[in-house]
Structure 1
Amino acid sequence: MKLIKLTAISAAVLASSAALAAEPVIVVDDTQAATADAVVYEAEPVAVAYEAEPVAYEAEPVAYEAEPAPAAYNNDAGIIRNTTGAIFGGTKTLFNTAINPAAVSAEVGTLGYGANVAWSINDKTELQAGWAGGDVADLFGGDFDADDVNYDVDADFSNPYLGVQLRPAGNWFTMGAGVIVPDNDIDVTANAEGDFFKLDGIQYNAAQTGNLEGSLEHRNKLAPYGTIGFRPNIGNNWGVFGEVGAAYMGKTDATVRSTNPDADVNYTDAQGNTQSIKGSEVANIAERELEDKDWLEWFPIVKVGATYRF
């Protein structure tokens, strides 16, 4: 029986050496009775397997959105397409816009002889800067009446202006608005009616009074204006225009002086009595009449001209 046990143990050891990992392990318990059959325990092999999960790193795509370039001046159309970009896009863009106007114009009218430069904001809006001036008194006939006195006018105008020109319907019809900075010298000389200056219904001896000469000045240092007009094109680059409107120059300050301020000037009052006052007093009466007249408080604007577009 011992031989059987030894044989079984040896066989089990050899078998376990060959197939320890795959085959069951047989163990003989010799604690059993000699007569009892051997008890075999079958040990299941333990297999520990570690399976590494594949790790994948997926890089998120990064997108860079290019900032739009600042608006560039369009030499063909003469406009800035992207106004916001033009304003905030940097000094270079503004500089290029300033030195590349859309149009230049020559004009003549009640404000004087002059010219303007225009920059297009879009296809319906232009910003204009201009000047008009010179001796334009003849455009008003060269004289005017204040009460019963006729005055000759000699004018030297200077009217720089800044405004906006609109094409609300996108055609030749235009509307304009802006501000004028008037610096106009207006000199006046009173014309006697026969031998008298008639002021407030009273006739003053003209020979004793001497000449009544003075000047007018409008009170507004900034004069708002509005116009309507037309601007048709007559070719690829050339066009003409006409405008009518008005500027509010404000009330008038007048200065009148007599060439014989200390002379006694005779006149007949309403009761038929002969009276006399100084020549300077006659000038003061004429001055008050001129200020009451408020000559050209609403200054008429009439102009025509030609335009060249780039």
Structure 2
Amino acid sequence: MKLIKLTAISAAVLASTAALAAEPVIVVDNNDAMAYEAQPVAVAYEAEPVAVAYEAEPAPSYAYNADAGVLSNTTGAVLGGTKTLFQTAINPASVSAEVGTLGYGANVAWSMNEKTELQAGWAGGDVADLFGGDFDADDVNYDVDSDFSNPYLGVQYRPAANWFTMGAGIIIPDNDFDVRANPEGADDGYFELNNIQYNATQTGTLEGTIEHRNKLAPYATIGFRPNITNNFGVFGEIGAAYMGKTNATVRAVDETSVVNFTDRDGTPSTTTAGEVANIAEQELEDKDWLEWFPIVKVGATYRF
């Protein structure tokens, strides 16, 4: 019997491992040999599901609103958003026309959010008439002609997200003032400088230029910017820019011309027209005319 059992176990093993060979298997039972043909056994394997992981692309960290011209959710926009920055540059929020003490001009603004705008603009031209066309330096009155050029970069901030604005920025001034001294007294009698009267006829014409020394002038303003319609609005601003001290140049037509005057002691004396021009030049620089340059402007805005 042991032989039969061992034989049966062996047959089962052979059948499962060599079924594809389909060769006959010999089984001995009670000394009788019998031949059995093994049938191939079909073994089914269930495939394990394969998990494939796909890493999602990160969503952009910025979004551009073409209607408002706003760059929002700007985290990483500078590093990965060259296209967005380009779109922002060519899609300004508004354009404005202005007139004021800096001149006649215009600016373009880009909205950074609902409260903040960046501005780039220019104002210039002859605006001396806005200052009355003349001014006094000590006892001498000067007629003024001006040639302004004031490019500027700034920020407009709406602290309460309404019409009230606060502005700050930098002006790059290139402003020239041409001045001409006006004599006083009957028949254009004299120029009074340092409380001394110089004969105006002998001195001749005194004229020159004034320039502010600052190449960069910081400014600050407050104002209002109400919207009239969805697209149109108006604005007004007041403030000041620090232009710095002045450089002045005054010339006489004939600098060697002899000029009579009476000194403080009442003693008659003489000098030259060139020396009178130098005294007038020093008075102009000491005055520091418009060192703090007033900013007053009004204008209209079109919003995209």
Q: Which TM-score band (shorter chain)?
A: 0.7 to 0.9
Q: CA 1:215/1:16 → structure 2, altered by over 3 Å: closer, same or farther?
A: closer
Which letter does structure 2 place at the counterpart of 1:71? Y
CA distance in 1, matches of 2:97, 2:6: 112
| 1:277 CA displacement | 0.3
- Counterpart residue number, 1:202: 196
Q: Does 1:282 align with 2:276?
A: yes
Q: TM-score, normalised by structure 1?
A: 0.81
Which entry has the higher C-alpha Rg, 1 or 2? 1
- Counterpart residue number, 1:304: 298
Unaligned runs of 5+ in 2: 9-44
How many pairs were matched up? Answer: 265
| 1:177 CA displacement | 0.6
- Counterpart residue number, 2:286: 292
| 1:237 CA displacement | 0.5
Q: CA 1:276/1:19 → structure 2, altered by over 3 Å: closer, same or farther?
A: closer
Q: Does 1:160 align with 2:154?
A: no
Q: Does the 8 A contact of 1:248 with 1:297 survive in 2? A: yes
| 1:156 CA displacement | 0.7
- Counterpart residue number, 2:184: 193
CA offset digits 1:171-230 (Å, max 9, x no partner): 111011110000111100011012000000000000000011010010000101011101
Alignment counterpart, residue 99 of structure 1, candidates 74, 84, 90:
90
Q: CA 1:68/1:278 → structure 2, altered by over 3 Å: closer, same or farther?
A: same
Q: TM-score, normalised by structure 2?
A: 0.82
| 1:17 CA displacement | 4.2
Alignment counterpart, residue 147 of structure 1, candidates 134, 138, 155:
138
- Counterpart residue number, 2:243: 249
| 1:269 CA displacement | 0.6
CA offset digits 1:52-95 (Å, max 9, x no partner): xx999786663523222363431222211133344223432222
Q: Does the 8 A contact of 1:223 with 1:247 survive in 2? A: yes
- Counterpart residue number, 1:124: 115
Alignment counterpart, residue 182 of structure 1, candidates 168, 173, 194:
173
CA distance in 1, matches of 2:292, 2:136: 16
- Counterpart residue number, 1:137: 128
What's the Cα RMSD here? 2.0
Q: Secondary structure at the match of 1:73?
A: strand
Q: Does the 8 A contact of 1:83 with 1:121 survive in 2? A: no
- After TM superposition, where is structure 1 displaced by more than 4 Å over at least 4 residues in a row? 17-22, 54-61
Which letter does structure 1 place at the counterpart of 2:103? G
CA distance in 2, matches of 1:182, 1:59: 71
Aligned-pair identity (%): 72
Q: Does 1:268 align with 2:262?
A: yes
Unaligned runs of 5+ in 1: 1-14, 23-53
Q: Does the 8 A contact of 2:209 with 2:250 survive in 1? A: yes
